[in-house]
Amino acid sequence: MDRIVVTGNGQLNGQIPIAGAKNACLTLMPATLLSEEPLTLTNAPRLSDIATMSALLRSLGTEITSMQGGKVLAMSSHGIDNHKADYEIVRKMRASILVLGPMLAREGHAVVSLPGGCAIGARPVDLHLRAMEALGAEMDLRDGYVHATAKGGLKGGIVDFPIVSVGATENALLAAVLAKGTSVIRNAAREPEIVDLVHCLRRMGAQIEGEGTSEITIQGVDRLGGATHPVVADRIELGTYMLAPAICGGEVELLGGRMDLVGAFCEKLDAAGITVRESENGITVSRHNGRAQAVDVTTEPFPGFPTDLQAQMMALLCTAEGTSVLEEKIFENRFMHAPELQRMGARIDVHGGTARVTGVEKLKGAPVMATDLRASVSLILAGLAAEGETIVNRVYHLDRGYEHVEDKLSAVGAKIERIHEA
Protein backbone atom coordinates (compact mmCIF):
# COMPACT_ATOMS: atom_id res chain seq x y z
CA MET A 1 0.00 0.00 0.00
CA ASP A 2 1.42 3.39 -1.02
CA ARG A 3 2.55 6.00 1.48
CA ILE A 4 3.48 9.65 0.99
CA VAL A 5 6.46 11.11 2.82
CA VAL A 6 6.53 14.89 3.39
CA THR A 7 9.38 16.86 4.89
CA GLY A 8 8.87 20.48 5.97
CA ASN A 9 10.95 22.55 3.60
CA GLY A 10 10.06 26.23 4.02
CA GLN A 11 8.25 28.51 1.61
CA LEU A 12 6.58 27.48 -1.65
CA ASN A 13 6.89 29.50 -4.85
CA GLY A 14 5.82 28.91 -8.44
CA GLN A 15 2.76 27.75 -10.38
CA ILE A 16 0.30 24.87 -10.00
CA PRO A 17 -2.16 23.98 -12.81
CA ILE A 18 -5.71 23.21 -11.64
CA ALA A 19 -7.42 20.17 -13.15
CA GLY A 20 -11.03 19.77 -14.21
CA ALA A 21 -13.46 19.19 -11.35
CA LYS A 22 -13.85 15.61 -10.19
CA ASN A 23 -17.38 16.20 -8.90
CA ALA A 24 -18.38 17.94 -12.14
CA CYS A 25 -16.91 15.25 -14.38
CA LEU A 26 -18.58 12.45 -12.42
CA THR A 27 -21.90 14.21 -12.98
CA LEU A 28 -21.30 14.97 -16.64
CA MET A 29 -20.27 11.44 -17.61
CA PRO A 30 -23.71 9.83 -16.97
CA ALA A 31 -25.25 12.45 -19.29
CA THR A 32 -23.97 10.30 -22.16
CA LEU A 33 -26.73 7.81 -21.29
CA LEU A 34 -29.33 10.39 -22.37
CA SER A 35 -28.37 10.36 -26.05
CA GLU A 36 -27.49 8.00 -28.87
CA GLU A 37 -25.02 10.60 -30.13
CA PRO A 38 -21.45 11.09 -28.81
CA LEU A 39 -20.63 13.23 -25.78
CA THR A 40 -17.02 14.39 -25.46
CA LEU A 41 -15.63 15.92 -22.27
CA THR A 42 -12.42 17.95 -22.34
CA ASN A 43 -10.30 19.02 -19.32
CA ALA A 44 -11.24 15.78 -17.56
CA PRO A 45 -9.27 14.98 -14.38
CA ARG A 46 -7.20 11.80 -14.31
CA LEU A 47 -8.43 10.12 -11.15
CA SER A 48 -9.44 6.71 -9.89
CA ASP A 49 -13.05 7.86 -9.43
CA ILE A 50 -13.19 8.75 -13.14
CA ALA A 51 -11.93 5.26 -13.96
CA THR A 52 -14.64 3.79 -11.73
CA MET A 53 -17.39 5.79 -13.46
CA SER A 54 -15.94 4.75 -16.83
CA ALA A 55 -16.12 1.10 -15.77
CA LEU A 56 -19.73 1.53 -14.65
CA LEU A 57 -20.78 3.20 -17.91
CA ARG A 58 -19.00 0.56 -19.98
CA SER A 59 -20.88 -2.13 -18.06
CA LEU A 60 -24.11 -0.52 -19.25
CA GLY A 61 -22.99 -0.46 -22.89
CA THR A 62 -21.25 2.91 -23.25
CA GLU A 63 -18.17 3.06 -25.46
CA ILE A 64 -15.46 5.31 -24.01
CA THR A 65 -12.21 6.39 -25.64
CA SER A 66 -9.65 8.16 -23.47
CA MET A 67 -7.38 10.63 -25.29
CA GLN A 68 -4.62 13.12 -24.48
CA GLY A 69 -3.50 11.08 -21.50
CA GLY A 70 -7.01 10.90 -20.08
CA LYS A 71 -7.82 14.62 -20.32
CA VAL A 72 -10.37 13.99 -23.10
CA LEU A 73 -13.16 11.42 -22.76
CA ALA A 74 -15.10 10.55 -25.92
CA MET A 75 -18.26 8.62 -25.00
CA SER A 76 -21.01 7.02 -27.03
CA SER A 77 -24.10 5.34 -25.60
CA HIS A 78 -25.81 4.51 -28.90
CA GLY A 79 -26.62 1.06 -27.57
CA ILE A 80 -27.49 0.48 -23.91
CA ASP A 81 -27.46 -3.30 -23.47
CA ASN A 82 -27.56 -3.62 -19.68
CA HIS A 83 -29.85 -1.91 -17.18
CA LYS A 84 -28.21 -3.04 -13.94
CA ALA A 85 -25.53 -1.04 -12.16
CA ASP A 86 -23.81 -3.80 -10.24
CA TYR A 87 -22.76 -3.61 -6.59
CA GLU A 88 -19.15 -4.57 -7.33
CA ILE A 89 -18.67 -1.28 -9.20
CA VAL A 90 -21.16 0.99 -7.44
CA ARG A 91 -19.85 0.18 -3.94
CA LYS A 92 -16.61 2.01 -4.73
CA MET A 93 -18.19 5.43 -5.26
CA ARG A 94 -21.38 7.24 -4.24
CA ALA A 95 -21.59 9.17 -7.52
CA SER A 96 -22.59 5.89 -9.20
CA ILE A 97 -26.20 6.61 -8.19
CA LEU A 98 -26.20 9.30 -10.91
CA VAL A 99 -26.85 6.70 -13.61
CA LEU A 100 -30.35 6.22 -12.15
CA GLY A 101 -31.91 9.40 -13.56
CA PRO A 102 -30.67 9.14 -17.16
CA MET A 103 -31.37 5.41 -17.36
CA LEU A 104 -34.96 5.96 -16.23
CA ALA A 105 -35.37 8.92 -18.58
CA ARG A 106 -34.15 7.14 -21.69
CA GLU A 107 -34.92 3.47 -21.03
CA GLY A 108 -37.85 3.59 -18.60
CA HIS A 109 -36.26 1.20 -16.12
CA ALA A 110 -33.06 0.69 -14.15
CA VAL A 111 -31.64 -1.45 -11.35
CA VAL A 112 -28.96 0.35 -9.37
CA SER A 113 -27.04 -0.90 -6.34
CA LEU A 114 -27.04 1.27 -3.26
CA PRO A 115 -23.70 3.14 -3.41
CA GLY A 116 -20.54 3.31 -1.30
CA GLY A 117 -17.82 5.96 -0.92
CA CYS A 118 -15.93 7.75 1.87
CA ALA A 119 -17.00 7.02 5.45
CA ILE A 120 -17.86 10.61 6.41
CA GLY A 121 -21.34 10.09 7.75
CA ALA A 122 -24.75 9.13 6.46
CA ARG A 123 -25.54 10.30 2.95
CA PRO A 124 -28.79 8.50 2.16
CA VAL A 125 -30.18 8.17 -1.34
CA ASP A 126 -33.78 8.84 -0.26
CA LEU A 127 -33.72 12.30 -1.85
CA HIS A 128 -32.70 10.77 -5.18
CA LEU A 129 -35.56 8.31 -4.97
CA ARG A 130 -38.03 11.02 -3.95
CA ALA A 131 -37.03 13.02 -7.03
CA MET A 132 -37.63 10.06 -9.34
CA GLU A 133 -41.03 9.42 -7.75
CA ALA A 134 -41.98 13.06 -8.28
CA LEU A 135 -41.31 12.50 -11.99
CA GLY A 136 -43.60 9.48 -12.12
CA ALA A 137 -41.23 6.58 -11.41
CA GLU A 138 -42.06 3.64 -9.20
CA MET A 139 -39.29 2.68 -6.78
CA ASP A 140 -38.67 -0.60 -4.99
CA LEU A 141 -35.70 -1.26 -2.67
CA ARG A 142 -34.81 -4.91 -2.25
CA ASP A 143 -31.65 -6.96 -1.79
CA GLY A 144 -29.47 -3.84 -1.71
CA TYR A 145 -30.69 -2.56 -5.09
CA VAL A 146 -33.01 0.20 -6.27
CA HIS A 147 -35.48 -1.24 -8.80
CA ALA A 148 -36.94 1.70 -10.71
CA THR A 149 -39.54 1.75 -13.47
CA ALA A 150 -41.33 4.47 -15.41
CA LYS A 151 -43.94 2.84 -17.60
CA GLY A 152 -44.61 5.12 -20.53
CA GLY A 153 -41.68 7.31 -19.59
CA LEU A 154 -41.08 9.97 -16.95
CA LYS A 155 -43.48 12.90 -16.63
CA GLY A 156 -42.84 16.48 -15.60
CA GLY A 157 -43.44 17.23 -11.94
CA ILE A 158 -42.48 19.29 -8.91
CA VAL A 159 -39.35 18.08 -7.11
CA ASP A 160 -39.34 19.84 -3.74
CA PHE A 161 -36.29 18.92 -1.66
CA PRO A 162 -36.59 19.30 2.15
CA ILE A 163 -32.84 19.94 2.33
CA VAL A 164 -30.30 20.99 -0.27
CA SER A 165 -28.60 18.03 -1.95
CA VAL A 166 -26.09 18.39 -4.78
CA GLY A 167 -26.29 14.77 -5.93
CA ALA A 168 -30.09 14.61 -5.80
CA THR A 169 -30.36 17.89 -7.73
CA GLU A 170 -28.05 16.45 -10.39
CA ASN A 171 -30.03 13.22 -10.64
CA ALA A 172 -33.30 15.16 -10.91
CA LEU A 173 -31.86 17.28 -13.73
CA LEU A 174 -30.57 14.22 -15.60
CA ALA A 175 -34.02 12.63 -15.37
CA ALA A 176 -36.19 15.67 -16.08
CA VAL A 177 -34.57 16.70 -19.38
CA LEU A 178 -36.34 13.83 -21.22
CA ALA A 179 -39.53 13.79 -19.11
CA LYS A 180 -42.78 14.73 -20.80
CA GLY A 181 -43.79 18.26 -19.81
CA THR A 182 -42.36 20.79 -17.38
CA SER A 183 -40.46 19.97 -14.20
CA VAL A 184 -39.48 22.33 -11.39
CA ILE A 185 -36.73 21.58 -8.87
CA ARG A 186 -37.22 23.58 -5.68
CA ASN A 187 -34.57 24.07 -3.01
CA ALA A 188 -32.09 23.05 -5.69
CA ALA A 189 -28.33 23.03 -5.03
CA ARG A 190 -26.49 26.03 -6.49
CA GLU A 191 -22.96 24.62 -6.77
CA PRO A 192 -20.78 25.38 -9.83
CA GLU A 193 -20.93 21.68 -10.69
CA ILE A 194 -24.73 22.02 -11.09
CA VAL A 195 -24.27 25.03 -13.37
CA ASP A 196 -21.65 23.14 -15.39
CA LEU A 197 -24.03 20.18 -15.83
CA VAL A 198 -26.79 22.48 -17.08
CA HIS A 199 -24.40 24.10 -19.58
CA CYS A 200 -23.52 20.65 -20.92
CA LEU A 201 -27.14 19.48 -21.09
CA ARG A 202 -28.07 22.70 -22.87
CA ARG A 203 -25.35 22.02 -25.44
CA MET A 204 -27.03 18.64 -25.96
CA GLY A 205 -30.38 20.35 -26.61
CA ALA A 206 -32.00 20.46 -23.16
CA GLN A 207 -34.27 23.36 -22.19
CA ILE A 208 -33.36 24.49 -18.66
CA GLU A 209 -33.60 27.81 -16.80
CA GLY A 210 -32.55 28.92 -13.32
CA GLU A 211 -29.24 27.14 -12.78
CA GLY A 212 -27.25 28.74 -9.98
CA THR A 213 -30.48 29.61 -8.12
CA SER A 214 -32.62 27.58 -5.73
CA GLU A 215 -35.32 26.93 -8.36
CA ILE A 216 -34.59 25.27 -11.69
CA THR A 217 -37.20 24.81 -14.44
CA ILE A 218 -36.83 22.10 -17.09
CA GLN A 219 -38.96 21.74 -20.19
CA GLY A 220 -38.62 18.15 -21.30
CA VAL A 221 -37.59 17.38 -24.89
CA ASP A 222 -38.07 14.25 -27.00
CA ARG A 223 -34.38 13.62 -27.55
CA LEU A 224 -30.92 15.02 -26.89
CA GLY A 225 -28.00 15.20 -29.30
CA GLY A 226 -24.25 15.02 -28.93
CA ALA A 227 -21.91 17.73 -27.67
CA THR A 228 -18.36 18.64 -26.69
CA HIS A 229 -18.05 20.23 -23.27
CA PRO A 230 -15.07 21.43 -21.15
CA VAL A 231 -15.19 20.35 -17.50
CA VAL A 232 -15.15 23.34 -15.11
CA ALA A 233 -12.03 23.84 -12.97
CA ASP A 234 -11.98 21.89 -9.70
CA ARG A 235 -12.77 24.41 -6.96
CA ILE A 236 -11.79 21.94 -4.22
CA GLU A 237 -8.39 21.21 -5.76
CA LEU A 238 -8.07 24.97 -6.27
CA GLY A 239 -8.82 25.73 -2.62
CA THR A 240 -6.52 22.95 -1.45
CA TYR A 241 -3.51 24.28 -3.35
CA MET A 242 -4.35 27.87 -2.36
CA LEU A 243 -3.75 26.71 1.21
CA ALA A 244 -0.26 25.41 0.45
CA PRO A 245 1.44 28.86 0.38
CA ALA A 246 -0.97 30.05 3.09
CA ILE A 247 0.41 27.35 5.41
CA CYS A 248 4.06 27.36 4.29
CA GLY A 249 4.55 30.97 3.23
CA GLY A 250 5.68 32.11 -0.21
CA GLU A 251 3.67 32.84 -3.35
CA VAL A 252 1.93 30.40 -5.70
CA GLU A 253 -0.15 31.06 -8.82
CA LEU A 254 -3.02 28.62 -9.42
CA LEU A 255 -3.36 28.34 -13.19
CA GLY A 256 -6.97 28.20 -14.37
CA GLY A 257 -8.35 29.19 -10.96
CA ARG A 258 -11.42 31.42 -10.75
CA MET A 259 -12.40 33.59 -7.77
CA ASP A 260 -16.12 33.05 -8.37
CA LEU A 261 -15.68 29.33 -7.65
CA VAL A 262 -14.25 29.93 -4.15
CA GLY A 263 -15.70 33.27 -3.00
CA ALA A 264 -16.59 32.34 0.61
CA PHE A 265 -13.28 30.49 0.99
CA CYS A 266 -11.34 33.56 -0.22
CA GLU A 267 -13.13 35.70 2.37
CA LYS A 268 -11.86 33.43 5.15
CA LEU A 269 -8.32 33.48 3.77
CA ASP A 270 -8.45 37.26 3.69
CA ALA A 271 -9.65 37.34 7.32
CA ALA A 272 -6.72 35.04 8.21
CA GLY A 273 -4.26 37.54 6.69
CA ILE A 274 -3.57 35.63 3.48
CA THR A 275 -3.24 37.68 0.27
CA VAL A 276 -5.40 36.43 -2.61
CA ARG A 277 -5.59 38.23 -5.94
CA GLU A 278 -6.64 37.52 -9.49
CA SER A 279 -3.80 37.12 -11.96
CA GLU A 280 -3.62 36.94 -15.74
CA ASN A 281 -3.71 33.13 -15.71
CA GLY A 282 -5.71 32.40 -12.57
CA ILE A 283 -5.33 33.23 -8.87
CA THR A 284 -2.18 34.11 -6.90
CA VAL A 285 -1.95 33.39 -3.16
CA SER A 286 0.82 34.62 -0.89
CA ARG A 287 1.84 34.88 2.75
CA HIS A 288 5.01 36.76 3.58
CA ASN A 289 4.50 38.36 7.00
CA GLY A 290 4.25 36.11 10.03
CA ARG A 291 1.68 33.47 10.93
CA ALA A 292 -1.89 33.35 9.72
CA GLN A 293 -4.58 34.67 12.05
CA ALA A 294 -7.32 32.59 13.69
CA VAL A 295 -10.71 32.67 11.95
CA ASP A 296 -14.03 30.93 12.56
CA VAL A 297 -15.47 28.73 9.81
CA THR A 298 -18.93 27.21 9.30
CA THR A 299 -19.47 24.85 6.38
CA GLU A 300 -22.55 25.54 4.25
CA PRO A 301 -23.96 24.65 0.84
CA PHE A 302 -22.65 26.80 -2.02
CA PRO A 303 -22.07 29.74 -2.06
CA GLY A 304 -21.00 29.17 1.55
CA PHE A 305 -17.75 27.65 2.80
CA PRO A 306 -17.34 24.16 1.24
CA THR A 307 -17.36 21.13 3.53
CA ASP A 308 -14.76 19.63 1.19
CA LEU A 309 -12.26 22.32 2.25
CA GLN A 310 -12.90 22.07 5.99
CA ALA A 311 -10.13 19.54 6.71
CA GLN A 312 -7.58 21.50 4.69
CA MET A 313 -8.57 24.77 6.40
CA MET A 314 -8.09 23.08 9.77
CA ALA A 315 -4.50 22.31 8.77
CA LEU A 316 -3.90 26.04 8.25
CA LEU A 317 -5.56 27.02 11.53
CA CYS A 318 -3.41 24.54 13.47
CA THR A 319 -0.51 27.00 13.16
CA ALA A 320 -2.51 30.27 13.15
CA GLU A 321 -2.26 32.83 15.95
CA GLY A 322 -5.22 32.48 18.31
CA THR A 323 -8.16 30.10 18.60
CA SER A 324 -10.47 29.20 15.72
CA VAL A 325 -13.83 27.43 15.77
CA LEU A 326 -14.84 25.17 12.88
CA GLU A 327 -18.48 24.11 12.69
CA GLU A 328 -19.36 21.25 10.32
CA LYS A 329 -22.99 21.51 9.23
CA ILE A 330 -23.01 19.33 6.10
CA PHE A 331 -21.74 15.90 7.22
CA GLU A 332 -21.45 14.38 10.66
CA ASN A 333 -18.31 12.45 11.55
CA ARG A 334 -16.11 14.66 9.39
CA PHE A 335 -13.44 15.51 11.97
CA MET A 336 -11.64 12.16 11.75
CA HIS A 337 -8.49 14.00 10.64
CA ALA A 338 -8.34 15.86 13.96
CA PRO A 339 -6.72 13.02 15.97
CA GLU A 340 -4.13 12.60 13.22
CA LEU A 341 -3.29 16.32 13.31
CA GLN A 342 -3.03 16.02 17.10
CA ARG A 343 -0.32 13.40 16.56
CA MET A 344 1.62 16.21 14.88
CA GLY A 345 1.22 18.49 17.90
CA ALA A 346 -1.99 20.30 16.96
CA ARG A 347 -4.27 21.53 19.76
CA ILE A 348 -7.79 20.53 18.71
CA ASP A 349 -10.86 19.96 20.89
CA VAL A 350 -13.80 18.29 19.12
CA HIS A 351 -17.36 18.25 20.47
CA GLY A 352 -19.91 16.81 18.06
CA GLY A 353 -19.98 18.95 14.95
CA THR A 354 -17.67 21.65 16.35
CA ALA A 355 -13.88 21.73 16.57
CA ARG A 356 -11.95 24.35 18.53
CA VAL A 357 -8.40 24.80 17.20
CA THR A 358 -5.75 26.71 19.12
CA GLY A 359 -2.80 27.44 16.90
CA VAL A 360 0.75 26.39 17.77
CA GLU A 361 3.93 27.90 16.40
CA LYS A 362 5.05 24.71 14.70
CA LEU A 363 3.73 21.23 14.00
CA LYS A 364 6.03 18.22 14.23
CA GLY A 365 6.27 15.45 11.66
CA ALA A 366 4.75 12.09 12.60
CA PRO A 367 3.29 8.92 11.06
CA VAL A 368 -0.40 9.60 10.36
CA MET A 369 -3.27 7.78 8.66
CA ALA A 370 -5.64 9.18 6.02
CA THR A 371 -9.28 8.51 6.90
CA ASP A 372 -10.95 9.95 3.81
CA LEU A 373 -10.19 11.89 0.62
CA ARG A 374 -10.01 15.44 1.99
CA ALA A 375 -8.45 14.35 5.29
CA SER A 376 -5.58 12.77 3.38
CA VAL A 377 -4.59 15.99 1.66
CA SER A 378 -5.02 18.00 4.89
CA LEU A 379 -2.32 15.83 6.46
CA ILE A 380 -0.04 16.44 3.50
CA LEU A 381 -0.56 20.21 3.85
CA ALA A 382 0.19 20.01 7.56
CA GLY A 383 3.32 17.98 6.82
CA LEU A 384 4.59 20.68 4.45
CA ALA A 385 4.82 23.12 7.35
CA ALA A 386 5.90 20.67 10.07
CA GLU A 387 9.37 20.10 11.48
CA GLY A 388 10.83 16.83 10.30
CA GLU A 389 9.20 14.01 8.38
CA THR A 390 5.50 13.19 8.09
CA ILE A 391 4.45 9.80 6.72
CA VAL A 392 0.87 9.69 5.42
CA ASN A 393 -0.50 6.15 5.23
CA ARG A 394 -3.53 4.82 3.31
CA VAL A 395 -3.25 7.38 0.54
CA TYR A 396 -5.50 5.41 -1.82
CA HIS A 397 -8.16 7.89 -0.68
CA LEU A 398 -6.04 10.71 -2.10
CA ASP A 399 -5.95 9.23 -5.60
CA ARG A 400 -9.74 9.43 -5.82
CA GLY A 401 -9.63 13.23 -5.89
CA TYR A 402 -6.15 14.60 -6.67
CA GLU A 403 -4.06 13.90 -9.74
CA HIS A 404 -0.25 13.94 -9.50
CA VAL A 405 -0.28 15.68 -6.11
CA GLU A 406 3.42 14.96 -5.51
CA ASP A 407 4.42 16.42 -8.89
CA LYS A 408 2.33 19.56 -8.43
CA LEU A 409 3.68 20.30 -4.96
CA SER A 410 7.27 19.37 -5.85
CA ALA A 411 7.13 21.89 -8.70
CA VAL A 412 6.68 24.74 -6.20
CA GLY A 413 9.45 23.59 -3.85
CA ALA A 414 7.80 21.02 -1.58
CA LYS A 415 9.81 18.01 -0.43
CA ILE A 416 7.36 15.20 -1.03
CA GLU A 417 7.57 11.68 -2.44
CA ARG A 418 5.40 8.61 -2.83
CA ILE A 419 6.68 5.29 -1.52
CA HIS A 420 5.31 2.29 -3.40
CA GLU A 421 4.97 -0.83 -1.31
CA ALA A 422 3.70 -4.25 -2.27
Q: Where are the alpha helices (DSSP H) in 78-234?
A: 87-90, 100-107, 126-134, 166-176, 192-203
Per annotation, catalytic residue among 118, 200, 266, 318: 118
Residue of 357, 409, 402, 403 lying closest to 383 (CA atoms): 409
Determine if residue 126 is labeled as part of a ligand binding site: yes
123 is in an annotated binding site: yes
The answer to whether the Cα torsion of 25, 115, 4, 319 is positive or negative is positive
The Cα 197–Cα 111 span in angstroms is 23
Instruction: Give the containing element (helix H, strand E) for 204.
Output: none
248 assigned to active site: no
CA distance 154 to 141: 19
125 annotated among ligand-binding-site residues = yes
* Sheet with strand 227-230: strands edge to edge: 63-67, 72-76, 39-42, 227-230
CA–CA dist 366, 197 (Å, integer):
41
Which of 113, 61, 60 lies closest to 86 in space, CA to CA? 113
Residue 308 annotated as lining a ligand binding site = yes
3-state helix/strand/coil string of 327-345: ECCCCCCCCCCHHHHHHCC
Whether residue 404 contacts residue 363, with contact meaning beta carbons closer than 8 Å, is answered with no
| Residues making up the binding site for UDP-N-acetyl-alpha-D-glucosamine | 94, 123-127, 308, 330
Residues making up the annotated binding site are 22-23, 94, 123-127, 308, 330
- Tell me the binding residues for phosphoenolpyruvate: 22-23
**Residues designated as active site:** 118
